[in-house]
Structure 1
Amino acid sequence: MEVELVKWPAEESRLTELRSAGSARLLLVEERAAPPVSTDVLEDWVRLPCGDDDLRHRMFVLAERVRKADLSRPTLDENGVLRCNGAWVSLPPVEHRLVAALLDRFDAVVCRDVLARAGWNDVVPDRNVLDVHVVRLRRRIEPLGLVIRTIRSRGYLMEHQHT
């Protein structure tokens, strides 16, 4: 994951955007400014002025900390934004509900009936409707490093893509 350099407090709005995107950030804190308080593993700061070696070292350490942290667990917010591995996608309502059910049992099989009830509440769609939504969902989540596998005669399983 690339580390973004952010001038603090001059680029406060950019910092907010990077936080929302799940990007790693190294704040370059102005000489007389107070650094923001953050416990986010994706964020660190260094006071200016600082030498190039110190800056490179701090960026390397932050990148390693991020790499070692378990940031790969997908999260889904109430607005249908699915985040994983520092990237995100926006999901339409039906796919949002399907992903919520798949994340409840991440790395485990979710049977078709459970998935159909999650996606459509009272009305259970025919088999083809669920299959079409799963195909769309597979394409949408691929950039996040996630896959949905078909488990024959059982259901679906969401997991990390193995390379």
Structure 2
Amino acid sequence: MIYCVEDDQSIRDLMLYTLNTAGFSANGFPDSVPFWDAMKQETPELILLDIMLPGEDGIAILKELKASPLTRNIPVIMATAKDSEYDKVIGLDLGADDYLSKPFGMMEMISRIKAVLRRTTPKEDAPVLMCGGIALNTVKHQVSVHDQPVTLTLKEYELLRTFMENLGKAFSREQLLSSIWGIDFVGETRTVDVHIGTLRTKLGSCGGMIATVRGVGYRMEDTGE
């Protein structure tokens, strides 16, 4: 079951129609009141959440979802205004798994839903993470590119592991600073850019797999390199 929280009925109806056509069960809500009522009855597999809602907005709903141990692991895709960089960053920092910039196509919506569900579905821990030509051994802390060993600093290794464990997920610079350098780190987000630059260089032909997400930060994509 996928829940769609969208106040525009025409958009909501189109989203539900597309989801049903793609084989998903879906339910839609115009605001937070019926949404929270439904949450008491059934826990969805994923939530599509618009930010601009009457009454309780999407950011407030996301905060509540992530604050509860019963709902914090439900994947959430935020729908934001096309040029709303602030909303995208805030949503990602609060734990959203991805975002859609309005206006978005229905096929893009389905593609992002499938990608989020793939990476959030529980799976057995694997000691070696693979992406394109990159192999990262989480036990030995070793990295290779096309079977050639690559020497990384601790922070570069932690950045790469974070990306490889969350393929396709966009991270803001603030998220990366907090998770890798620690919340008490004193410095600028430029630190992240510098480390990303050196990491890309060391990964050689696979460096381009770490993509810059304009107005947000970075994500890792399997380009088949």
Q: Structure 1 length normalisation: TM-score? A: 0.47
**Could you say which structure has the larger radius of gyration?**
1
Q: Structure 2 length normalisation: TM-score? A: 0.35
